[in-house]
Amino acid sequence: MSNRRVVITGIGAVTPLGNDIETTWNAVKEGKSGIGPLTRIDADQYPAKVAAEVKDFSIEDYIERKEARKMDRFTHYALAASIMAMKDAKLELDDKTALRTGVWIGSGIGGMETIENQMDVLNNRGVRRISPFFVPMIIPDMASGQVSIHFGAKAINSCSVTACASGTNSIGDAFKVIQRGDADVMISGGAEAPITRLSVAGFTANTALTTNADPATASRPFDKNRDGFVIGEGAGIVILEEYEHAKARGAEIYAEVIGYGSTGDAHHITAPAPEGEGAARAMKQAIEDGDVKAESIGYINAHGTSTPYNDQFETTAVKTVFGEHAYKLGMSSTKSMTGHLLGAAGGIEAIFTALALKEGIMPPTMNLETPDEECDLDYVPNKARQAEFEYAMSNSLGFGGHNASLIFKKA
DSSP 182-209: S-SEEEEEEEE---SHHHHHHHHHTT-B
45 and 154 part of one domain: yes
Rounded (10°) angle between helices 73-89 and 142-151? 40
Instruction: Count the domains in the chain.
Output: 2
Residue 85 CA to its chain's centroid (Å): 15
- Together in a domain, 238 and 268: no
**Catalytic annotation present for 159:** no
Q: Is residue 45 located within the same domain as residue 190?
A: yes
Query: Does residue 99 fall inside a structural domain?
Result: yes
Last residue of a domain, one of 213, 248, 283: 248
CA distances from 340 to 59, 147, 227, 349 (A): 22, 23, 14, 11
pLDDT tens digits, 61-83? 999 999 999 999 999 999 999 99
Nearest in space to 344 (alpha carbons), one of 7, 12, 91, 6: 12
Q: What is the DSSP letter of 131?
A: -
Q: Is residue 93 part of a domain?
A: yes
Among the candidates 192, 215, 248, a domain finishes at 248
If one counts every other C-beta atom within 10 angstroms of the C-beta of residue 32, the result is 15
pLDDT band at residue 3 using 50, 70 and 90 as cut-offs? confident
Is there a single domain that holds both residue 119 and residue 196? Answer: yes
Residue 204's Cα: distance from chain center in Å? 22
pLDDT over 60 (residue 1): no
Name the pairing type of β-strands 402-410 and 36-37.
unpaired
**What tens digit of pLDDT does each residue of 88-117 get?**
999 999 999 999 999 999 999 999 999 999
Would you give the DSSP letter of residue 397? Answer: E
Answer with the one of 248, 283, 309 that is the final residue of a domain.
248
Backbone phi, then psi, for 139, in 5-degree steps?
-70, 135
Residue 285 falls within a domain, yes or no?
Answer: yes
Cβ atoms 341, 348 nearer than 8 A: yes
Domain CATH code at residue 302: 3.40.47.10
User: Averaged over 212-217, what is the pLDDT?
Assistant: 96
The C-alpha R_g of the chain, in whole angstroms, comes to 20
Nearest Cα residue to 237 out of 29, 77, 25, 91: 77
Q: Indicate which residue of 51, 164, 178, 240 is catalytic.
A: 164
Residues recorded for the chain: 411
Q: What is the rounded distance in angstroms from the CA atom of residue 366 to the CA atom of residue 329?
A: 18
Q: Is residue 253 situated within a structural domain?
A: no
Residue 271: count of CB within 10 angstroms of its CB: 14
pLDDT for position 309: 94
Which residue range(s) make up the domain with 279? 261-410
Same structural domain for residues 235 and 268?
Answer: no
Encode pLDDT of 253-301 as tens digits: 999 999 999 999 999 998 989 999 999 999 999 999 999 999 999 999 9
